[in-house]
Structures are given as structure tokens and as C-alpha cells.
């Protein structure tokens, strides 16, 4: 394969709601360019994109797939993205390294929640976008309604370049207003007839041509001037205007295809080889120093690794984009993230499992290397003269959690290694070994996300595992003032132990001062704050430690030991063993022995005094509350709201946007464990949600009682 210049490279992401036909389109394009001789199908489990065993098992795209081919003297690299929201991390990485997106729209469904979510991602990145209406041959296809739906969402920026004649069984032709031609397919033909536009379509085609002319012309002053003077542009000039409109996001062209029947795919490929922007036409990416790095082959070499896969018989395959400069086989580069050296022994251009050796890749190219020594997803490799480091992929926040462990304790290390590898392949998977919960927690985008992970562990790694609902990170606090004292004394020959601590505890409230006098059981206790330490706890909240010792009843050198004892008890609250928070502790008196007092004595005395005071201070359990935003078609709004209310949700508000409702709620984390599954079931997979931590709140009394009983039973079993 020849070495392509940066201006000859096109990097495009295929996106769209699940079921819109992305993998089928990818298969058709690879067939058209001659890379494959026969088109595979999802049902037959033989497509180029979905080649991992788990994808064949579920007949579902799980990973994004890089597909590179040559077309019309251009190097076209597509990344076929999963449609399911559960695998949105793959979409994030694909959008970050491509220069434009092709959004497939199912002609039977129109704009769906997945369409809206992916559009927002593309919009945030300020990347070009065009729409392709697919499945026009389906018996429920409705071009006009789908077009109206698109225009409702995207307004006049949506500019049809093609429209079909007929839909469903009668779909057999496309009017191309840019080409001013009519493409007609006859049964059994492998290519369409290219005809003049029929008179019956002339008026509609002329009107759409005028709209397209104006949309193309307004992106360039020279084109606009010519359009005003002559009222027409050449096809080449229109493509230039369309390309500029794409780059500025001033227009979203619309094409029409049937990927399954390979109708108009060839035409789409030709259009994109001309109109899709090349990497040097884009604004570039920001490095961690805030510098914009453009795709320029004359600059020092930097490679950014955005994806890793582990493939049978090969091992690790590392995918990269040449951010600047050039790279060739045998180059020695420095890893900016790991301070190591790396030699690129072999370079490849890939299309799924099809790999072709590349001698050299210029800026903007997307390639792959195998069996690198010390490269991880997100790393940057630099040549001499470059000190770039990139971190521009923003992965989605996890929404579904499960605890995981190996059925056999002997396989725990093997499970840990497998999870680390999967995290490398999919950075949107979060793996956490929680000291607090005493569990390994895996977090992802939804039930299916983790279900595929489990399938791979069980079938690829031959590991038997248990998946379970994770424990909830409750917190404990107090609701009133309390006082306690404790004397620790130990005498068993030799040096003894003695320490006595008197303290007061009260709820910590931001800005509330320490009182001068506290009253318990009719007795007053005078307090004089000599020193105040405010400690931000690692698990949230604060501990305020007040030294109110007067008269030297406890030597100052023992106060850190008392604080240490209190901190140890905060790590295991008396109600459920959860972390405690938001407590003010005032040490106001005590006793010590000139010989037997030491640090451990006061640590134990402080711990026990604090425990007793905490238990008598109206202790309460706090639970984590999350902000939840649900995007749902209006038809399902009532069912979704009812389900949320059954989860103790507090509805905070609603917004409506063109048939999609956005519901804002605050929901306890405990109630969100199976929400991904439930929402999909209620809405037929047409809704999505995001969640983010809000705060801790007191649990209702009945739930606190239930939690206390569960903890008591658990301790009996232990």
C-alpha cells in the first residue's frame, strides 16, 4: 500500500442508534472496495466488524472496529461504533480520533434517544456530521415522516442531497440533487441505472437543488459571490462548499441508502472521499499543556494510543493515531506517560482482523502495532523534539455496578489479571477493590455492558465467577450532643497502661461555633477551645477535633494518640460498620499516670470514650443520593415516572425537547441497582439515563431498622 499524504486521509466514525445498520453498512463498503469478496451478515456471524466471540454470541457490536481501505486515491478509515448506550465508551474514543461522523437513521424509527445522545457527544467535540437514512427498503419505512422528525430536531441545517422514490417494497430509486441524476435499481442488478431525473420529480428536485446551492454557497465568500452573479455553481464548487459547511457545522447533509441491499452505498463512498474533511483541515487536538497540535507531517512525531484489543493467536493489538509527524517501521520512540522506550517493529493498517503492513504513516493516519512492550490505552509516544502528552478522550460516567469474585479463591489472582486486561480494552469499565465494602466492584454503562464482560470471563478465560449486588457505601453520623468518659487501665507485671479521657460529641454543622457550656443530666460542663483541628475525611464529611484540656490533666503529647483512636472508630461506625462522618469531638478532661501513661493507653481510652458517646448521640445512617437524568420518548413518560417513584425518587423537574422528555430526579443509590435493565424493559430500549453523586441523606426510619437487623444477622453468621 502506498504512503498517503495527510490531505489524502479521511477518518470517519459510523454512529447511530442500535439496529440502524452500521455493521451492515461497513460490510457493504468493504465489499464495494474489494477488500472482501462476499458480504457477511450478523445472522451468519461472519461480518468483518463483529469478529470477537462475544459479538457473535449476542449478535451485537460490543467494540468499535477500525476499518481502513483505499478508495479513489484516498485512504479511508472508518470506525464502526456500537449502537447500544451500554458501550458508549467505545463511541467516545472513536469520536475523539476521527474527523467527522456519519449518523445512520433507521427509516422506520426516526430520531431515537441514542441518536440524540450521540449527536450531543459530536456537538461537544465540534466535529462535522452528516446523516444517512438507512433501511428504506423496510416495509415500515417512512421517508417523509423521518425527514420531518430530523428537521424538527436539527432544523434548516439538515440539507437533503438525496431522496428516495418510494419506500418499503416500492423503494427502487434515489434522486441525487447534487449529481442531478436518478439512480434506479432493477431486480437482480448489482448496480443501478444512472438516468436523468424524471419529469414527475423535476419540481421537487429543482427546489431541493436550490436549497443545496444556497447552503453550499454561504460557506465561502467566493462561492457566494459567484452564486449571486450567475445563480449556479459547478459540482466541484458545491462539494467544496459542502465540505466547508461540514467543517463549520453549518450544514448536515442527508443521504439515502439500503445497506442490506447495497443500494447507493457506492455513491455514498464516492461523496465522502471528496467531501469529508482531511485531518489537516481540522483544528487539531489539545495536549495536556494546552497547546493545539495540528496534523502536520513536517512536525516531530507524536502517536496517541486510543484503543487496545487482545486477539487470539496475536496478543495485544494497539491502535494509534499519528497526531503529528511521520512514523515508520523500526522507529524508536519515547513513552511520555510511562518514561520508557518503545520500538515499533511492525506497523499495520487494519480492517477488523484483516491487517496490511504499512511502511510509513503520515500525520492523521490511524494504524496499529502488535505486541508493544509497555504501551497502554491513553499513552503518547514521541520522537526526539516532541514532548506531547494527550488526554482528550472523555469517557462516560458509570451507571451500573456489580460486585465480582471468583468462585474458587485460588482463581482470585487470575480474575484480577483478566479484569485489568479488560479495563485496558475498555476504559469505560471501572474496577475498584473497595476497602470500605470489602468487595471488588466493577462499574459500567449498563447491565448488558457487564453481562458481556462476564461472558468473556467465563468463556474466554474459563473463570467461574459470582456476580452480586454490591454493598452500599452507607455513612453514619450523630444527631444530638452526648458525653462519655473512659479509663483504660492494665497492670500485669512490669510497665502498666493508664489513660483516662473525658469527651463530648455533637453533630458538625458548617459555621456553628463551639459552645462555652454543655449540659448533660443536669450537670454543666465548661469548655474552652484551646486548639481546633478540622480534618477532611477521605470518605467525605469532616471530623472536628477540639482540645479543651485545662490544668494539664492530659499532656499535649497524648492528644494525637486520642485523635488516632477516634479516627479508628470513625472507620467502623457502631451501627453498620460503615464510615462515620460530620462529628465534632471536644476533649475537655482526663487523667494520666506519671509512669504508666503512654500513647497506646490514650488511643484506646479515646476510642472507647468516643464509641460510647457516639452510641448515645442519636446515631443515624446516611445513604448516598444520586442526581438522575432520564431522556425518554414522551409516550413512556408516565411509566418511567411511576417506576422512579417506586424507587423512592424525588422528582425535581421535567423538560421537553421535540418529543423527548428529560426527567430530573434524586434517587438513593440502593434503588438504582437494576435501573438500567428496568428502564430498557419499560421503554423497549428507547430511553437512556445518566447519574452522578449528589450528597448523603438520612435514611427513613423503617429502612434504618432493616439495615440494623441485617448487620446484626451478618455479625452472627461471621
Mean pLDDT of 146-166: 95
pLDDT surpassing 90 at residue 557: yes
Query: How does residue 189 score in pLDDT terms, banded at 50, 70 and 90?
Result: confident
pLDDT given at position 711: 87
Query: How does residue 627 score in pLDDT terms, banded at 50, 70 and 90?
Result: very high
pLDDT given at position 169: 82
Mean pLDDT of 47-72: 92
Q: Tell me the per-residue pLDDT of 279-307, one tens digit each, with 9 for 90 and over.
A: 999 999 999 999 999 999 999 999 999 99
Q: Tell me the per-residue pLDDT of 438-453, one tens digit each, with 9 for 90 and over.
A: 999 999 998 889 999 9
| Cell numbers linked to 320 | 494509534
Instruction: Please report, rounded to a whole number, the percentage of residues in the chain having pLDDT higher than 90.
Output: 84
**Angle subtended at Cα 636 by Cα 634 and Cα 641, rounded to the nearest 5 degrees:** 100
3-state secondary structure of 638: helix
| Count of positions (residues) in the chain | 718
Query: How does residue 718 score in pLDDT terms, banded at 50, 70 and 90?
Result: low
Sketch out the chain's domains with CATH numbers: 8-197+250-281 (3.40.50.300), 400-471 (3.30.70.870), 479-618 (3.30.230.10), 621-703 (3.30.70.240)
pLDDT surpassing 90 at residue 59: no
Mean pLDDT of 408-436: 94
Write phi, then psi, for 257 (nearest 5 degrees): -150, 165
**Rounded to whole angstroms, what are the CA distances from 322 to 251, 297, 350?**
28, 9, 15
Query: How does residue 665 score in pLDDT terms, banded at 50, 70 and 90?
Result: very high
3-state secondary structure of 211: helix
Range of lowest pLDDT (17-31, 338-352, 405-419, 483-497): 483-497
Query: How does residue 680 score in pLDDT terms, banded at 50, 70 and 90?
Result: confident
Closest of 453, 423, 380, 368 to residue 79, by C-alpha: 368
pLDDT given at position 34: 94
Mean residue pLDDT across the chain: 94
Closest of 438, 441, 434, 401 to residue 419, by C-alpha: 441
Mean pLDDT of 308-331: 93
Closest of 443, 474, 612 to residue 540, by C-alpha: 474
pLDDT surpassing 80 at residue 716: no
pLDDT given at position 493: 66
Q: Tell me the per-residue pLDDT of 250-265, one tens digit each, with 9 for 90 and over.
A: 999 999 999 999 999 9
Kindly list the strands in the beta sheet with 173-176, ordered across the sheet, starting from the edge strand earlier in the chain: 162-165, 173-176, 181-184, 193-195
pLDDT surpassing 90 at residue 208: yes
Q: Tell me the per-residue pLDDT of 388-417, one tens digit each, with 9 for 90 and over.
A: 999 999 999 898 999 999 999 999 999 999
Higher pLDDT, 1 or 27: 27
pLDDT surpassing 70 at residue 245: yes
pLDDT given at position 229: 92
Query: How does residue 372 score in pLDDT terms, banded at 50, 70 and 90?
Result: very high
Q: Tell me the per-residue pLDDT of 530-540, one tens digit each, with 9 for 90 and over.
A: 999 999 999 99
Query: How does residue 676 score in pLDDT terms, banded at 50, 70 and 90?
Result: confident
pLDDT given at position 195: 97
pLDDT given at position 659: 72
Rg (CA), the chain: 32
Between helices 675-683 and 447-459, what is the axis angle to 10°? 110
**Angle subtended at Cα 446 by Cα 442 and Cα 449, rounded to the nearest 5 degrees:** 70
Range of lowest pLDDT (222-226, 257-261, 432-436, 710-714): 710-714
| Cell numbers linked to 384 | 526526539
Write phi, then psi, for 634 (nearest 5 degrees): -60, -30
Mean pLDDT of 627-643: 92
Kindly list the strands in the beta sheet with 465-468, ordered across the sheet, starting from the edge strand earlier in the chain: 430-434, 439-444, 400-406, 465-468
Question: Residue 345 and residue 504: Cα distance in Å, rounded?
Answer: 68
Amino acid at each position: 500500500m502506498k504512503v498517503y499524504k495527510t490531505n489524502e486521509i479521511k477518518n470517519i466514525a459510523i454512529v447511530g442508534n442500535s439496529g440502524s445498520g452500521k455493521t451492515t453498512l461497513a460490510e457493504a463498503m468493504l465489499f464495494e472496495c474489494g477488500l472482501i469478496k462476499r458480504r457477511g451478515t450478523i445472522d451468519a456471524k461472519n461480518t468483518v466488524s463483529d469478529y470477537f466471540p462475544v459479538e457473535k454470541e449476542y449478535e451485537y457490536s460490543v467494540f468499535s472496529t477500525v476499518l481502513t481501505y483505499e478508495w479513489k486515491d484516498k485512504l479511508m478509515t472508518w470506525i464502526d461504533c456500537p449502537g447500544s448506550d451500554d458501550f458508549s465508551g467505545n463511541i467516545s474514543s472513536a469520536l475523539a480520533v476521527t474527523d467527522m461522523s456519519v449518523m445512520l437513521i433507521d427509516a422506520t424509527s426516526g430520531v431515537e434517544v441514542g441518536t440524540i445522545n450521540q449527536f450531543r457527544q459530536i456537538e461537544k467535540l465540534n466535529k462535522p456530521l452528516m446523516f444517512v437514512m438507512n433501511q428504506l427498503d423496510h416495509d415500515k419505512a417512512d421517508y417523509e415522516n423521518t425527514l420531518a422528525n430530523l428537521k424538527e430536531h436539527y432544523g434548516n441545517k439538515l440539507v437533503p442531497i438525496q431522496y428516495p422514490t418510494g419506500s418499503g417494497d416500492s423503494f427502487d430509486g434515489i434522486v441525487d440533487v447534487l449529481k442531478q441524476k436518478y439512480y434506479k435499481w432493477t431486480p437482480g442488478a448489482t448496480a443501478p441505472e444512472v438516468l436523468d431525473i424524471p419529469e414527475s420529480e423535476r419540481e421537487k428536485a429543482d427546489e431541493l437543488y436550490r436549497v443545496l446551492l444556497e447552503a453550499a454557497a454561504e460557506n465561502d465568500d467566493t462561492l457566494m459571490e459567484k452564486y449571486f452573479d450567475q445563480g449556479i455553481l459547478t459540482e466541484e464548487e458545491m462539494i467544496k462548499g459542502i465540505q466547508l459547511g461540514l467543517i463549520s457545522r453549518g450544514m448536515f447533509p442527508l443521504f439515502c441508502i439500503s445497506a442490506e441491499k447495497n443500494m447507493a452505498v457506492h455513491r455514498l463512498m464516492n461523496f465522502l472521499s471528496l467531501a469529508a474533511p482531511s485531518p489537516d483541515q481540522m483544528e487539531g487536538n489539545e495536549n495536556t499543556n494546552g497547546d493545539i497540535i495540528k496534523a502536520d507531517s513536517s512536525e516531530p512525531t507524536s502517536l496517541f494510543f486510543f484503543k487496545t484489543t487482545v486477539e487470539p493467536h496475536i496478543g495485544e493489538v494497539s491502535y494509534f493515531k499519528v497526531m503529528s509527524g511521520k512514523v515508520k517501521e523500526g522507529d524508536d520512540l519515547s513513552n511520555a506517560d510511562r518514561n520508557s522506550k518503545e520500538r515499533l517493529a511492525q506497523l499495520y493498517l487494519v480492517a477488523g482482523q484483516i491487517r496490511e503492513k504499512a511502511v510509513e504513516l503520515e500525520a492523521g493516519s490511524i494504524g496499529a502495532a502488535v505486541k508493544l512492550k509497555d504501551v497502554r490505552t491513553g499513552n503518547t509516544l514521541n520522537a526526539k523534539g516532541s514532548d506531547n502528552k494527550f488526554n482528550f478522550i472523555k469517557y462516560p460516567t458509570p451507571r451500573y455496578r456489580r460486585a465480582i469474585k471468583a468462585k474458587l479463591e485460588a482463581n482470585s489472582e487470575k480474575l484480577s489479571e483478566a479484569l485489568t486486561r479488560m479495563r485496558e480494552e475498555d476504559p469505560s469499565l471501572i474496577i475498584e477493590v473497595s476497602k470500605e465494602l470489602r468487595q471488588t466492584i466493577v462499574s459500567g454503562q449498563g447491565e448488558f455492558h457487564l453481562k458481556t464482560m462476564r461472558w468473556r470471563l467465563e468463556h474466554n478465560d474459563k473463570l467461574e465467577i459470582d456476580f452480586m449486588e454490591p454493598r452500599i457505601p452507607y455513612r453514619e453520623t450523630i444527631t444530638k450532643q452526648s458525653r462519655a468518659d473512659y479509663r483504660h487501665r492494665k497492670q500485669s507485671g512490669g510497665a502498666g497502661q493508664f489513660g483516662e479521657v473525658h469527651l463530648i460529641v455533637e453533630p458538625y454543622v458548617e459555621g456553628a461555633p463551639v459552645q462555652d457550656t454543655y449540659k448533660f443530666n443536669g450537670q454543666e460542663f465548661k469548655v474552652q477551645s484551646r486548639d481546633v483541628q478540622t480534618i477532611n475525611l477521605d470518605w467525605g464529611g469532616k471530623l472536628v477535633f477540639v482540645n479543651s484540656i485545662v490544668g494539664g490533666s492530659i499532656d499535649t503529647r497524648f492528644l494525637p494518640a486520642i485523635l488516632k483512636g477516634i479516627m479508628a472508630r470513625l472507620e467502623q461506625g457502631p451501627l453498620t460498620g460503615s464510615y462515620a462522618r460530620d462529628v465534632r469531638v471536644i476533649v475537655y478532661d482526663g487523667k494520666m499516670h506519671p509512669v504508666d501513661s503512654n500513647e497506646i493507653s490514650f488511643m484506646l481510652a479515646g476510642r472507647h470514650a468516643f464509641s460510647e458517646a457516639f452510641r448515645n448521640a442519636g446515631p443515624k445512617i446516611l445513604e448516598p443520593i444520586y442526581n438522575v437524568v432520564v431522556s425518554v420518548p414522551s409516550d413512556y413518560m408516565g411509566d418511567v415516572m411511576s417506576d422512579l417513584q417506586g424507587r423512592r425518587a424525588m422528582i425535581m423537574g421535567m423538560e421537553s425537547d421535540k418529543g423527548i422528555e428529560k426527567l430530573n430526579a434524586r434517587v438513593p443509590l440502593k434503588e438504582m441497582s437494576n435501573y438500567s435493565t428496568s428502564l430498557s424493559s419499560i421503554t423497549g430500549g428507547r430511553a437512556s439515563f445518566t447519574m452522578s453523586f449528589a450528597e448523603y441523606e438520612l435514611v427513613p426510619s423503617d429502612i434504618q431498622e432493616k439495615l440494623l437487623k441485617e448487620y446484626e444477622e451478618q455479625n452472627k453468621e461471621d
